[in-house]
Structure 1
């Protein structure tokens, strides 16, 4: 049994974390609103538990978005630094310990959520303790990155793509189930019990890691006895940043296209992160939705997009289209969905959008694959680290912009940011579609799937494995 579980790798604890995380997200948002309502309406619990009673209260909307902005900063700022430290530690000391540390912070944060939801009348700002604890331990960015690193370092070359696909599946399944059940569980059991369920999932994930995660067989590089851990890690980080710079500035055939597509992908991630921050607030304001209805909608949307990227994307990639084309397709339908969100009127319209967003995850998948096809095989790991760093920076910028601008739009046009975001996506759409045409014109083997010496390596069994996609 233990051997079978080890074969499944880190997909199991990642699924447990993602399930808990997506159970948490709508419930956490609802808790923010309820606590802000209790502050404004003199601790009137009966009133504040009724979403329809104050769904259009602009003061509470603004206060909730302001708090979510502070919450995001408290989580993300330390997690970016810690994630880099943990990433360097996987090369110098251990691959198991950096995998475990973020889960410890997550568990400590959830324990605080249990207390803050049980004592509902406490200040909303005590919730920031959880963000600080999780962020200092790396946050969700570290969980994803250390899981991917573990999978790569403990798998033979021929199986690495399956590990990455397994991570994608674990995230998708956890998101679909977690979103769908979140509000229903909270409504039936209350906040404290819901967070206790989430805590149980996280503890199971930690126990799995402690018992079944294995250390690398090779001896990790040890720092000089006169050099501290932080000093050695810092030197490693400087070296990594220099490598990032070399990847971007290196003279190559499509250097300008590489830079433009990294910028375009960063712009798309900024839009995605910003709209994710305000979507619960927007649907609450427009449709009187609480965490239950929002969870159902998000679970359906997430399930459709996950199925599309796992099954439809590979089929279209093999038979008809290049990665750049699929990213363009995803951006086109994403723009349509954002226009529809901007003028949202009712639940029927909302659920029709859930079908259109099925192509949304084509964007990130297509961009990552297209960008990786522009660089050499030995640079693949570096470029994905660049993208991870870019994602963290754009998330910080997005949460600062969207959470502070959105409350000011409520008095005249709540869907303004959706409209602006849709127009903004014209830029990455133009860049990736033009870049794809240029690359296919000059290197048709990229779109036709013909093996070439730039991106192919010989696997252990003598077969050729393409690392571009």
Structure 2
């Protein structure tokens, strides 16, 4: 579907290159530019990994500024996208999915152009914010994501939907894994500019592929208007009433919609809130990784998308979807705890290995939300889910990019530990809802 200057990956159904959020290349570029401006070259010092030396105040300044610029850039882009995504997503219920897969790709291509200009001319990093704002005005990656998952819901039945959604998530992970390895090696060999040219090319190719080859999955209404308050009202109606499928479900149905959305928000906020921190954590002492190791680390993280897909398929043979999600959350929590104390390369990769099922929870939650609404409301639903994802980035970036520099003085890995604690909330909600559903089904079967 799309590609951004943050990370090159590949997705379906448009066979393009896309980013799955945070940004190894742009984060490294920010680190290098800020280090250059401040005269810091700590990653090249022989004593970088020597923890017996006192902390370098210049390194802390670089870490803090990089985390803060990540925060500003993410906040700018996603706050704009928060207004645009529900407009595009709900509009796709009437105008079709294809426009929502084309227009954001063009916006992301424009964002890539701005990033390239910044790199060529060595402009201040504040201009990255301008690029993100342009991407946000087109709907950003979240609009493409909403169109993709609505497309999957349009073309799948209830029984196969969870696995189909997981396949789409795995496509993102596989492309992210390959892009992380290629991006790290390429950046080390030729710098940042050439990889970002590929980002621009793949965004344009993705838009062209969608226009030429992707079939429409909904009946189009020729008179559908893009700029209409109806689209935002449709999203509000969905959550205020529980949707059309809530006619006989009562308040419990609407409650489930809200609670599963809350779970999704917390899980995705943690996923994307900490991913910027992995790069900062690995660049600085005591790990002091270079771009090649960072590429392998990002690849190991993205490999979790594939192992999660395989694990989900196996576990679905003997477990309900909710229990599958709980197993995935347990894997995520354990991995984060290991990250919080990782002070060697081996321990860091152990954390990546223990997180091998961390992505089984999000496809389950997407599928559960999709099954709670009518087919005619899938676009509005996934638009709202995309808005939740935008909010995840706003809140996740704000919390974790601020928490990281604030806790460097007493526990560098504290944000990872904090993220593990947050994930205990969706564990409790999903487990409780599953037990209540089992009791209701048992009571219904007894009555019948």
Please confirm whether the aligned pair reaches a TM-score higher than 0.5, indicating the same fold: yes
- Normalised to the residue count of structure 1, the TM-score between the two structures is 0.80
Deviations 1:183-215 (A, max 9, x none): 111111211112112222223222212332355
Q: Aligned pair in 2 of structure 1 residues 278, 317: CA closer, same or farther (>3 Å)?
A: same
- Cα shift at 1:296: 0.7
C-alpha distance in structure 1 between counterparts of 2:367 and 2:69, whole Å: 36
2:352 aligned partner: 354
Against the structure 1 CA distance between its residues 11 and 415, is the aligned structure 2 distance closer, same or farther, given a 3 Å change threshold? closer
Which whole-Å CA distance do the structure 2 matches of 1:350 and 1:222 have between them? Answer: 54
Q: Distance in 2 between matches of 1:174 and 1:399?
A: 23
Following TM superposition, by how much is the alpha carbon of 1:288 offset from its aligned partner in structure 2, in angstroms? 0.9
Secondary structure of 2:359's counterpart equals helix
Any idea what SS the aligned residue of 2:411 has? coil
Higher percent of residues as helix: 1
Q: Is the 8 A contact 1:309 1:362 kept in 2?
A: yes
Q: Which residue of 1 aligns with 2:366?
A: 368
In structure 1, the partner of 2:298 is 298
Shift of 1:412: 1.7
Deviation at 1:32, TM superposition (A): 0.3
Give the SS at the match of 2:343.
Answer: coil
- The aligned residue for residue 73 of structure 1 is 75
| Cα distance in 1 between the residues matched to 2:208 and 2:22 | 20
Q: Which residue of 1 aligns with 2:104?
A: 102
Structure 2 CA distance for aligned equivalents of residues 23 and 216 of structure 1: 26
Which whole-Å CA distance do the structure 2 matches of 1:22 and 1:252 have between them? 35
2:310 is matched with 311
Partner of 1:242: 237
Match of 1:3 in 2: none
Report the number of matched residues.
422
| Number of the residue aligned with 2:192 | 191
Q: Report the counterpart of residue 131 of structure 2 in structure 1.
A: 130
**Residue number in structure 1 paired with 2:319:** 321
Aligned twin of 2:115? 113
Q: Per the alignment, do residues 95 and 256 of structure 1 end up closer, same or farther by CA in structure 2, a change over 3 Å counting?
A: closer
Aligned partners of 2:92, 2:256: CA distance in 1, in Å? 32
The structure 2 residue matched to 1:25, chosen from 15, 23, 37, is 23
1:210 is aligned to 211
Classify 1:376/1:40 alpha carbon distance in 2 versus 1 (closer, same or farther; 3 Å): closer
The 5-angstrom pairing of residues 49-88 of structure 1 reads: 50=44, 57-88=59-90
Whether the aligned pair in 2 keeps the contact of 1:15 and 1:173 (CA below 8 Å) is no
Q: Give the secondary-structure state (helix, strand or coil) at the position aligned to 2:410.
A: coil
CA distance in 2, matches of 1:219, 1:51: 61
Q: Distance in 1 between matches of 2:360 and 2:401?
A: 26
State the distance in 1 between where 2:46 and 2:126 align: 24
Normalised by the length of structure 2, the TM-score is 0.83
User: CA contact under 8 A between 2:11 and 2:168: conserved in structure 1?
Assistant: yes
Residues 1:324 and 1:52: Cα distance change in structure 2 (over 3 Å): farther
Retained in 1: the 8 A contact 2:104–2:135? yes
Answer whether contact 1:31 1:117 (CA < 8 A) is retained.
Answer: no
Classify the secondary structure of the residue corresponding to 2:175.
helix
Question: In structure 1, what is the equivalent of residue 428 of structure 2?
Answer: 430
1:171 and 2:185 are equivalent in the alignment: no
Task: Tell me if the contact between 2:101 and 2:207 (Cα under 8 Å) persists in the aligned partners.
Answer: no
Moved more, 342-351 or 195-204: 195-204
Which structure has the larger Rg? 1
Structure 2 unaligned regions, length at least 5? 1-9, 50-55
8 A contact 2:267–2:423 mirrored in 1: yes
Deviation at 1:97, TM superposition (A): 2.8
Q: Structure 2: how far apart are the matches of 1:151 and 1:405? A: 37
Per-residue CA deviations over 1:217-255 (Å, capped at 9, x if unaligned) read 9552415xxxx752xx21232133112211188625565
For residues 352 and 131 of structure 1, the distance between their equivalents in structure 2, rounded to whole angstroms, comes to 34
- Is the CA contact (8 Å cut-off) linking 2:165 and 2:366 kept in structure 1? no
Whether 1:341 and 2:302 are equivalent positions in the alignment is no
TM superposition shift of 1:356 = 0.7
Is the 8 Å Cα contact of residues 152 and 165 (structure 2) preserved in structure 1?
yes
- The Cα shift of 1:425 comes to 2.0
Residues 394-440 of structure 1 deviation map (CA, whole Å, 9 limit, x = unaligned): 32111111112211111221111112222222222122222222222
Q: State whether residues 109 and 130 of structure 1, in contact with CA within 8 Å, keep that contact through their aligned partners in structure 2.
A: yes
